[in-house]
Amino acid sequence: MPQFVDDRLNEFLQSDGGSIAHLGPSGSFSHEVCSSISSRVRPEPRRTFGDVIDAVVTQNVDYGLIPIYNTIAGQIIAGWSALLDSGVIAVGAYVHRISLALLAREGATLSTIRRVVSHSAALRQSSHWQRRMLIGAQVSHSTAAGAALVSRTRSRELAAIGSPNLADRYNLSLVAHDIANDVDNETTFLLIQRQNDTAATDNKFQRTSQICCPVSPNVLLSRVAPEGERANERERLRSQISFTCRSGRALEIFLKNEDGSTNETLIHGCSVRTEGRYLGHIPVAATNVDRLYRAFGFQSNFLRDHFLGNIPKDNSYIVIYSRVLQ
Ligand SMILES: O=C(O)C(=O)C[C@]1(C(=O)O)C=C[C@@H](O)C=C1
């Protein structure tokens, strides 16, 4: 069952459906997400994330779906770049399990395959396997576009990396299963809509504050649990944060007022300093904002307890992404 940030939207999609532009062609992970939402949803494949946003903005579709975060590959920069400053609003989030398989033409085996083709995010998710196999990589617009390419070639040297479901769809054979670096591989997708359309499904999309999310683990730890304070809690957070940082997940949160000034009192006495690069922003429905943060990989409620507890739940927020700071 899809988990949207806003449960009402989830119910709405299941009863009324709608068209969702997504990265295609059929069989991509984005397509899998659309199909799993409801049989009433009409998936509308597009070639690039930019095309998905265009379809939403030009009112060709009701919604768009953009992947933004993967537990192995980290932030999906192409997804964010398409979203930022595009004037769309994120109305939901969905976490999808990613299972990566190797698919090739009939007769191909691990010993005939020299090169793989896939979406750049899927290539990063399976980098260990590629290195072990001493295999070359080629980027395609999506995992399904890679499978379509392999099915058109006669070569037994080229294979695609993507969902095992691509085998039937593109008449390919499954050469290997579970080739991701980590079997617990999940991607977070945002469901987006034109700003004005959201009034129809929810009238609480007026933004009052912003939440910015650059990444800086040590700074995050010092703000969440300053030295000398609550030693046990600090230890617990340190292990969580270093874990999330190793997998590129830690987020640093800033709150901004509409005029761009930061509101330090909201952050429990932690000093606020903007680090990282401001890239732009998108509005996010706040009915369940802590769930969105869990979708980014946080395993506890510490963000909510430390940062979000003071925010009135009726408001909406803006997630601002900045680059990962190492
Ligand atoms: O190529 C696809 O199948 C997509 O839907 C894109 C995408 C991504 O951009 O992250 C989606 C999920 C997986 O992480 C790999 C690829």
Q: How far is the CA of 76 from the centre of ligand 1 (A)?
A: 9
**pLDDT digits over 194-251, tens only?**
866 544 444 333 222 233 333 344 544 554 455 555 566 556 555 554 444 444 433 4
- Ligand 1 lined by 198 (C-beta under 6 Å): no
Q: What is the CATH number of domain 7-97+185-201?
A: 3.40.190.10
Q: Reduced to 3 states, what is the DSSP secondary structure of residue 317? A: strand
Q: 9: pLDDT confidence band, cut at 50, 70 and 90?
A: low
Q: Among 125-129, 173-177, 262-266, where is mean pLDDT lowest?
A: 262-266
Atom of ligand 1 nearest to the CA of 144: 3
**pLDDT digits over 44-72, tens only?**
999 999 999 999 999 889 999 999 778 78
Q: How far is the CA of 173 from the centre of ligand 1 (A)?
A: 20
Q: Atom 15, ligand 1: which residue's CA is nearest? A: 122
Query: Residue 177 and residue 179: Cα distance in Å, rounded?
Result: 6
In the predicted structure, residue 183 carries a pLDDT above the cut 60:
yes
Angle 38-41-43 from CA coordinates, rounded to 5°: 120
In the predicted structure, residue 12 carries a pLDDT above the cut 70:
yes
At 148 the pLDDT is 98
- Ligand 1 lined by 130 (C-beta under 6 Å): no
**H or E element in which residue 149 lies:** helix 143-152
CB 119 within 8 A of CB 74: no
- Ligand 1 lined by 76 (C-beta under 6 Å): yes
| CA 197 to chain CA centroid, nearest Å | 22
CB 141 within 8 A of CB 117: no
- Ligand 1 lined by 161 (C-beta under 6 Å): no
- Ligand 1 lined by 49 (C-beta under 6 Å): no
The answer to whether domain 7-97+185-201 and domain 101-176 are alike in fold is: yes
Higher pLDDT, 296 or 158: 158
Pocket perturbation via mutation, ligand 1, pick of 119, 125, 161, 181 by most ligand atoms within 8 A of CB:
119
Sorted by where each begins, the domain ranges of the chain are 7-97+185-201, 101-176, 209-324
**pLDDT digits over 141-180, tens only?**
999 999 999 999 989 999 999 999 999 999 999 999 999 9
Higher pLDDT, 213 or 80: 80
- Ligand 1 lined by 142 (C-beta under 6 Å): yes
CB 192 within 8 A of CB 56: yes
- Ligand 1 lined by 67 (C-beta under 6 Å): yes
**pLDDT digits over 28-42, tens only?**
999 999 998 888 999
CATH architecture of 101-176: 3-Layer(aba) Sandwich (3.40)
Considering the chain, what is the average pLDDT of its residues?
A: 69
| CA 245 to chain CA centroid, nearest Å | 16
